[in-house]
Chains A and B, each alone.
Chain A
C-alpha cells in the first residue's frame, strides 16, 4: 500500500503540473486575443518591488477609477449580469443591502478612448474655472495654484485606461469592441451596491441600485527576468504608483517605459516586451 500511495502522490504532482502548464500553453497559443502598448502610467511597478524578502517583479494594471462611479453600470446592466434586484423589496432589511455577493464577469477596459477624452475635458474645464472662483472669492489664490498643479499632473501622468463595460460573455464583448489595440477584455469581480438617494420632492431617501467593479482578477502581472533591466534602473523618487493621480512632486515624476502586453485565449495577460522611453513629457 505504501508503495502504491507514494506512486499515486508522485503521479498526482506530475499530472496537476502538466494540467496547469497545458492551460498556460492554451492561453498563449495562436494569435493573442489582444495586444496593447501601455506606458508606465497604466503599468507601474507593483508595490513591494525589490522588497528584501521578495525579488520577484510585477507590474500593476492601473486603470483609472476616476470617482469610482460608472453611469453605464446601472440597474439594467446588473440585471443583464444576473443580479436579482428583488432584494430591494426587503424594505425593512437595510443592513442586507450592503451584503450582496460579488460575481465574476468580464470587464472592458478602454485605452485612450472616449472615456479618457471625457476625463481630460473635465480636468481642463476645472482648470479654466479656477480664475473665476478666485475672482469671486470662493477660493484662495494659492489653493487655486495647487489645484491647477494637481490637475495638470493628472493630465500628464494619470492612467488612460477606463472601464467602459462589463459582461458575462467575453466573445460577445469582443464583438462589441473589436479594436484589440484599444480595448482589453479581462476577468473581473463586480458587485451590486445600493446608495440611498434623497428625493427632493418628498425628502424621503430612495434606494438606487448600481454596479461597482471590485477588482480586475489579473491586476498584478509578473515580469520575467529578461525584462528586468529597465525596471532595475528606475530611480525610486521618479517612479509612478498605481491609483495615484496627483503626485506632490518637484517635477521629477515622469514616464520611463512602455510595455507590450498580450492577452491570450483565456484572457490572461503576459508581458511581451518593455522598452525605455526618453523624456516623453
Chain B
C-alpha cells in the first residue's frame, strides 16, 4: 500500500523527469513523438492529481518551498501555544480548589488529543494535527508535573516513560516526526535514569554520568533495524538521535574523565574515549556510505571533525600563536576535503 512518502518521492521523480526531458530536447539528444509525449503527460497528470487528492503532496517547486515554510510555522506555533498553556495554568491555578485543578489537568490532554483526530481528518498535510499533538504532549507533561506538586509526590523517572509513551503513540498514529523526537527524548531520559539507578545512585543524578546516555543512545540506534513499512523515515530518526546521544557523551567523557563510571585514572579514561570516538565516527561514516544513509554519514563526519578539533586544541592551543593554530586547522580542513574528493572520485570509478 502506497504511503505519503512514496507518493512524494514519485512526484519528485516526475518533476525531475520532465526537467531532464526538456534539457535533452533542447540539446537535441532526444525528442518524444507528440502522441508519446501526450500519453506520458496525461498519465503523469492523472497520477499527480490522485496523489494530491489522497495525500496533499507537493507537486511543484513552489509547493515545496511553501511546505517548508508551513512546517516551520507549525513548529513555532506549537511551541508558542505550549508555552501559553503552561503559563496560563500557572497564572490561575492558585485561585482554584484541588478538585478543579485535578479536573483541568486530566481533561486538557484528553480534549487536545481528541482534537488531533478532528484536525487530521480535515487536513491531510497534518500541519494542524502536528501542532495540536505538541500541545497535547505539553498538556500531559503539565498534567503529571503539577499533580506531583499538588500532592507532594516524591519525584521518580517513571514520568518520562509515561510522556514518551504518549508521544510515540501519537507519532505512530499520525506519522508525526516531531512527536517521535519528543518520544525518543523522554524514552532516552527514562533509560538513562534507570541505568543510573543500577549503580545505586538516585535517578535525578543520571546526568552526572554520560555513560548512561551511551547505553540509552545505543538502544535507540538499534531500534532503527525494526522495519517501518508505513513510516520509512522513522528508522533514520532513531539512528541519528541514538548516535547523537552517543557522540555527545563520548565528546564529554573524552574531555572530562572523572565523571565516568570506569575505575581508572582520568587521563586513561579520556584517552580511551578519544580513541573510541574516532573509531566510532569513522565506522559510522563508512556504514553510512555503504548503506546510503546520508544522515548518519553527515552526523558522523561532523563529530569526527569535532573530535579532531578538540584534540588539536588540546595539543596546540596553549603554545602555538593563535594565527598559526587557526591556519593549521584550515589547512587540515583543506587536506580532508582533498582526501574526501579523491574517495568520491574512486567511488565513481575515476570519473571527476
Contacts and interface: CB of A to CB of B under 8 A. Distances in A.
Interface of A: 1-6, 8-10, 12-14, 16-17, 20-21, 23-24, 27, 53-58, 82, 87, 90, 92-93, 95-96, 99, 101-104, 187, 189, 217-218, 220-222, 224-226, 228, 266-270
B199 A55 contact: no
10 contacts: A8-B169, A9-B166, A12-B166, A13-B143, A14-B110, A16-B144, A54-B94, A93-B266, A224-B98, A225-B94
A218 B200 contact: no
Contact of A92 (B96, B166, B263, B265): B265
A217 B162 CA distance: 21
Contact of A104 (B106, B110, B116, B202): B202
B185 interface: no
Contacts of A82: 200
Interface of B: 87, 90-98, 102, 106, 109-110, 113-114, 116-117, 120, 140, 143-144, 147, 149-155, 162, 165-166, 169-170, 172-174, 196, 199-205, 208-209, 258-259, 263, 265-266
Contacts of B162: 12, 16
Nearest to A95: B258
Contact of A218 (B92, B154, B208): B154
Nearest to B88: A53
Given A53-B91, A222-B152, A20 B147 contact: yes
A24 B204 contact: no
Contact of B151 (A2, A24, A189): A24
Contacts of B169: 5, 8-9, 12
A95 B155 CA distance: 30
Nearest to A17: B106
Nearest to B98: A224
Contacts of B153: 20, 23-24, 218, 268
A278 B93 CA distance: 30
Contacts of B97: 224-226
A6 B91 contact: no
A55 B113 contact: no
Given A12-B169, A17-B143, A225-B94, A102 B117 contact: no
A225 to B, nearest CB: 5
A218 B266 CA distance: 35
Between B116, B143, B258, the greatest number of chain A beta carbons within 10 A of the residue's beta carbon is seen for: B258
B90 A54 contact: yes
Contacts of A16: 144, 162
Between A8, A14, A90, the greatest number of chain B beta carbons within 10 A of the residue's beta carbon is seen for: A8
Q: Name the prevailing secondary structure of the A interface residues.
A: mixed
Contact of A56 (B87, B93, B173, B201): B93
B202 A99 contact: no
Contacts of B196: 101
A95 B266 contact: yes
A225 B98 contact: yes
A247 B96 CA distance: 34
Given A2-B117, A218-B152, A222-B151, 6 more contacts: A5-B173, A12-B169, A13-B143, A21-B102, A101-B196, A270-B152
Contacts of B151: 24, 27, 222, 268, 270
B90 A53 contact: yes
A267 B152 CA distance: 10
User: Closest 7 CB pairs between A and B?
Assistant: A5-B173, A55-B94, A101-B201, A104-B202, A56-B94, A54-B90, A95-B258
B204 A187 contact: no
A235 B93 CA distance: 22
A56 B148 CA distance: 13
B258 A99 contact: yes
Contacts of B87: 53
Contact of B166 (A2, A13, A269): A13
A27 B258 CA distance: 40
Contact of B152 (A14, A21, A93, A221): A221
A189 B117 contact: no
Nearest to A92: B265
A57 B174 CA distance: 39
Between B116, B143, B154, B266, the greatest number of chain A beta carbons within 10 A of the residue's beta carbon is seen for: B154
A274 to B, nearest CB: 15
Contact of B144 (A14, A20, A27, A266): A20
A207 B196 CA distance: 26
A101 B212 CA distance: 13
Contacts of B120: 2
A8 B204 CA distance: 29
B154 A217 contact: yes
A96 B92 contact: no
Contacts of B92: 55
A99 B265 contact: no
Contacts of B150: 222, 224
A28 to B, nearest CB: 8
